[in-house]
Amino acid sequence: MPALPLDTAGRYVAAAYLVFMLILIIYVAIMASRLTRIQKDITVIDEMLKTRDEHAAKAPPLTPESAQQ
Amino acid sequence: MTETRKAPGRGLKRLAILTALTLGTAYGLVFFWTPNEADQGFVQKIFYLHVPMAIVTLGGFILGGIFGFLQLRSGDRKWDLRSYVAIHLSLMLAVGTLITGSIWARASWGHWWVWDEPVLVSFLIVFLLYACYQPLRFSIEDADKQARYASVFAVVAGAFVPLNFAAVRLAQAYTHPRVLGGAQNSMPGSMQLTFLLAIIGMTLLYITLWKFEITSKTTRMQLASIKRRLDSDATGSPA
Amino acid sequence: MFRNSIDLLRKDLLLEIRGRESVPAMVLLALSTLVVLHFALGQASLDGELASGALWITILFSATLGIGRLFVSESEDGGMDAVLLSPVDRTAILVAKVCALFTFLVAVQIVIVPAFALLLLGPHLAPALPKLAGILLLTDFAIATVGSLVGAIAVQSRIRDLLAPLLALPLLIPPLIAATHATAGILASGGPAGVPGRWPLIIALYALVFGLLGIALYDNVLDD
């Protein structure tokens, strides 16, 4: 087949490079959603640490006798 | 159990910048410097995208096999993670290779698919095989078993890739003699340079994405273990 | 080690002879495939490449059935534990499984090749039979080495009946390519042509590579 004229050829070339870019962008989107999940996990851990600190502040310090009960 | 691991994201920024520079230069050259090829015209520019993608994909699959082998040998699950990410990325690029290959086929020969391109056909077969990797992995519940069988698959499939390419090429030679002649045979120096740069850029891209994903997953795992430790602290009875 | 392989092989063969599960199913699937092919292709008589393709499709599909069932006796009722607890070399288990699958395939083909000749094949079977049998046996060996590896992997998964064909078919394409080329000449309408040496060589090499892979990996692959 003889070479395509530039305008049709250009479309095909553009399409191919566009596909490449799309793959990369979709990948970035997936990684971004993973990052959001990491953020959520960090928030949860933050909460847990807060509750733990509150409990430690309220509860009396453990003595060996009270620990055995 | 705890090992002093270097921070997983180290060097990622430098890698990413290097990738951007290389790939940017490569494709800048493709469109602003390298001459059009005599027979295929402008369409040949796809070549600088499709072939590097293909090469990196295959390298990635074989790399996944190597990591799988290391996993089997050492039992350290970090190799399984590396194998998984390598295969997962290569699968993505395999889809890209097939689509760009199809576009190139359509632009060059008028059909969206051609059976006499051995690379394209081999890719289809390899893709069909690796598409089973995630279903296989995630249908095995036990974590150690999952790592082990995923690694076995990675090794077998990695060995299969070169075998498959050889077999398909051999078959093509007898049914569809290459009428088209090597597009790569008589490449002038400028094209070769750009082509090389494109391959290097694509490889760097792969490594960057691979490192990126490993960092992300490792961070998630570390967070999960922190969460677990906090949980057991909160609910556990005093020692 | 060989004694162990033979014992294990005998166990599998006895299970099959008494249970009659895999081989009849494989034969039935193959026969149905032949009928489907007749209607799908719209032809009453095939020769050459078309005949070759039809025969190998039939064999491959029934082989995937056998591959999926190959390790079922081990995975159920703790059979695998029993085998693994005995002081048997892992390689012996591999050899036994390869031989078992090979035997099943040959048994199926003993029925299916005449059926194929009856239903779909144009040229006469008899002059082609020696060469055809040779290619069949060689390819059966390749299918057996690939299949025992695939079966062992697939049986560990929850979706084992889905995975066995999905894994086996791409892996079997290279020997399939060589086998169809080889038999295309054998089943040509003018009488069986010679078989170029490269095709059996490819099949044999493929079987060898997968045999070696199996030996290298089998320790990791057998588990319950």
Residuewise pLDDT in 10s, chain B (239 residues) = 444 556 667 788 888 899 998 988 888 888 888 887 777 778 888 889 999 999 999 999 999 999 999 999 998 889 999 999 999 999 999 999 999 999 988 888 888 898 878 888 999 999 999 999 999 999 998 888 999 999 999 999 999 999 998 888 887 776 655 433 444 456 777 788 889 999 999 999 999 999 999 999 999 988 888 888 888 876 764 54
Domain enclosing residue C164, as ranges: 2-221
Q: Say if B167 falls within a structural domain.
A: yes
Domain enclosing residue B116, as ranges: 12-34+41-177+189-219
Can chain A be said to touch chain B, i.e. do they have 3 or more Cβ pairs within 8 angstroms?
yes
Q: In a 3-state reduction of DSSP, which class is residue A53?
A: helix
Q: Say if B158 falls within a structural domain.
A: yes
Q: In a 3-state reduction of DSSP, which class is residue B37?
A: strand
Contact A23 B95 (CB under 8 A): yes
CA distance B133 to chain A (A): 19
Cα dihedral B183, B187, B193, B196 in deg (nearest 10): 30
Q: Say if B115 falls within a structural domain.
A: yes
Q: How many residues does chain C have?
A: 224
The residue written with tokens 């391109």 in the block is B117
Q: Say if B103 falls within a structural domain.
A: yes
CA distance B40 to chain A (A): 5
- The two three-digit tokens of residue C99, written as one number: 């031989």
Contact C178 B126 (CB under 8 A): no
Residues of B whose CB is below 8 A from A61: none
Residue C46 β-bridge partners: C121
Chain B segment 208-237 residues within 8 A of A by beta carbon are: 209, 212-213, 216, 219-220, 223-224, 226-227, 230-231, 233-234
Q: Say if B228 falls within a structural domain.
A: no
Q: Say if B236 falls within a structural domain.
A: no
Amino acid letter, residue C118: L
Q: Say if B229 falls within a structural domain.
A: no
**Residue B55, CA distances (Å) to B7, B94, B205, C27, C114 in order:** 30, 10, 13, 42, 46
Q: Whose CA is closest to A40, among C213, B80, B91, B219?
A: B219
- For residues B119 and B54, the answer to whether their CB atoms sit within 8 Å is yes
Nearest beta carbon to residue C209 from set B148, B163, B168: B163
Cα separation, B123 vs B154, whole angstroms: 16
- Give the count of domains, chain C: 1
User: Would the ipTM clear 0.95, i.e. be above it?
Assistant: no
> Would you state the pLDDT for residue C129?
86
Contact C178 B140 (CB under 8 A): no
pTM of the complete model: 0.87
Contact B155 C217 (CB under 8 A): yes
